[in-house]
Structure 1
């Protein structure tokens, strides 16, 4: 298992993160934290075989805001 995502990601996002190469992980973290459209990020991840919903991404982002 790789280093975890910041905060408390659910199992789906953590699993996707664990499957990515280091440069892809960095890109994913940037997109998760920069406020990009959750729908767009989910679409890109699905196009690359990682099934995640925009709702899962939004829930993760809200959890990060609560941790601050």
Structure 2
């Protein structure tokens, strides 16, 4: 089993991450943390059946930066 998302992800991201296959989790984690476009990441995830908004991704990233 892979490590959980760092910080305190909200329920949407936490659920989405737990539903992913381990190899896909690693890719998503890298994209969540690398500062790539939240809109693009949300679009790719939605295309693969995972409902998440760019706003949710930005909020998560902000919480990591702010140490919340």
TM-score, scaled relative to structure 1: 0.93
Unaligned runs of 5+ in 2: none
Alpha-carbon displacement from aligned partner over 1:1-27 (angstroms, at most 9, x marks no partner): x64200010000010000001110000
Number of the residue aligned with 2:28? 28
Unaligned runs of 5+ in 1: none
The aligned runs of 1:8-47 (5 Å cut-off) are 8-47=8-47
Per the TM alignment, residue 30 of structure 1 is displaced from its structure 2 partner at its CA by: 0.0
RMSD: 1.7
Runs of 4+ in 1 over 4 A off after TM superposition: none
